[in-house]
């Protein structure tokens, strides 16, 4: 399986200190995605312009770069018509061209995760699988989950929920908490923002609630220009009223920290003019009140 990052000492992806593995590949394509490098399931290159020393090694390696080399600033344009063969990254001496996605076997991943077991034990933390959509890689993750479970290590999964129900079912025996994203209820808005309808997501949520409700944490990204208004947040509250025994819901205010990734990957960034949203802003406070008014346990 391809992993973009193993983040240690995370305090925001479940309870306690957690080590988070970010898997590559997702079934959604959210316009605001904070981890756009995890959407594509294949290895790919990312270009850090500021690290380029204009040595031209990549230009000699790749015909496509040769044709598009920008002689004005002496840096390559690697994103035009790139075939993703990764050869340029192999010759780049400065790290300006970086390969995103490292292949891990189940054993490699287990070894990387078990290293932090002391921190899990001390803090009540554990491992969180994130992405991308980790539930797309259940066949490779199950052996890791089995071994972590044998060691009594807590396992959480961050999921957007847009996978077959079977992918949930198969991991149920191992998962401590599901951090389940609900972005909006309106299906057309969901398609506009995330590139796909939300029917399967809401059906999976319902099934998951009926099998392991106490392990469900609902995460609601609050995105300006998408769902950050009372109508959409109230729709979510009304939906969640039918699921009173979820562990809790929490708002995830938009942050702009991924904007450099969009630039490095030459991706269109619909949110380049937006700043970080304050978790203590009046807007978020109003949304919290709205949830409380519907008796939804909000963190």
Residues engaged in binding ligand SF4 (CB under 6 A): 45, 52-58, 61-62, 64-65, 76, 78, 82-88, 91-92, 94, 96-97
How far is the CA of 63 from the CAs of 72, 77, 287, in angstroms?
18, 12, 53
At closest approach, how far in Å is the CB of 41 from ligand SF4? 16
Residue 299 has, within 13 A of its CA and on its CB side, a CA count of 16
At closest approach, how far in Å is the CB of 132 from ligand SF4? 21
C-alpha span between 217 and 156 (Å, rounded):
10
How far is the CA of 292 from the CAs of 7, 13, 283, 287, in angstroms?
33, 23, 14, 9
C-alpha span between 287 and 251 (Å, rounded):
9
At closest approach, how far in Å is the CB of 67 from ligand SF4? 10
DSSP symbols for 112-159:
HHHTTHHHHHHHT-EEEEESS-GGGGHHHHHHHHHHHHHTT-EEEEEE
In terms of CB distance, is 97 or 277 closer to ligand SF4?
97
At closest approach, how far in Å is the CB of 54 from ligand SF4? 5
In terms of CB distance, is 81 or 281 closer to ligand SF4?
81
Strand ranges in 239-292 using DSSP code E only, listed in sequence order: 248-253
In terms of CB distance, is 83 or 257 closer to ligand SF4?
83
In terms of CB distance, is 51 or 285 closer to ligand SF4?
51
At closest approach, how far in Å is the CB of 63 from ligand SF4? 7
C-alpha span between 144 and 113 (Å, rounded):
9
At closest approach, how far in Å is the CB of 39 from ligand SF4? 18
In terms of CB distance, is 53 or 197 closer to ligand SF4?
53
In the chain, count H helices and then E strands: 12, 10
In terms of CB distance, is 2 or 17 closer to ligand SF4?
2
How far is the CA of 142 from the CAs of 8, 42, 71, 107, in angstroms?
21, 21, 50, 11
In terms of CB distance, is 54 or 297 closer to ligand SF4?
54
Kind plus residue range of the DSSP H or E element containing 186: none
At closest approach, how far in Å is the CB of 37 from ligand SF4? 15
């Amino acid at each position: 399986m391809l992993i973009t990052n193993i983040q240690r000492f995370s305090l925001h992806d479940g309870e306690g200190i957690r080590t988070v593995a970010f898997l590559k590949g997702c079934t959604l394509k959210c316009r605001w995605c904070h981890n756009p490098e995890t959407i594509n399931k294949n290895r790919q290159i990312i270009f850090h312009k500021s690290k380029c020393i204009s040595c031209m090694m990549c230009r000699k390696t790749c015909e496509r770069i040769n044709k598009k080399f920008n002689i004005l600033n002496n840096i390559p344009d690697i994103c035009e018509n790139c075939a993703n063969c990764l050869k340029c990254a192999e010759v780049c001496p400065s790290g300006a061209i970086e390969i995103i996605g490292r292949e891990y076997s189940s054993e490699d991943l287990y070894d990387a995760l078990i290293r932090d077991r002391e921190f899990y034990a001390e803090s009540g933390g554990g491992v969180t699988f994130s992405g991308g959509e980790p539930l797309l890689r259940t066949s490779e993750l199950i052996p890791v989950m089995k071994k972590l479970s044998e060691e009594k290590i807590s396992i959480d999964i961050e999921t957007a929920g847009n996978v077959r129900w079977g992918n949930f079912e198969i991991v149920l025996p191992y998962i401590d908490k599901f951090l389940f994203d609900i972005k909006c209820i309106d299906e057309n808005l969901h398609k506009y923002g995330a590139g796909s309808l939300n029917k399967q997501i809401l059906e999976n949520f319902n099934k998951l609630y009926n099998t392991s409700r106490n392990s469900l944490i609902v995460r609601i990204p609050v995105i300006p220009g998408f769902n950050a208004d009372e109508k959409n947040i109230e729709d979510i509250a009304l939906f969640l009223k039918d699921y009173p025994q979820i562990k809790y819901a929490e708002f995830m205010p938009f942050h702009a920290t991924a904007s450099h990734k969009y630039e490095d990957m030459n991706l269109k960034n619909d949110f380049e003019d937006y700043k970080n949203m304050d978790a203590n802003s009046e807007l978020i406070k109003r949304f919290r009140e709205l949830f409380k008014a519907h008796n939804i346990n909000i963190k």
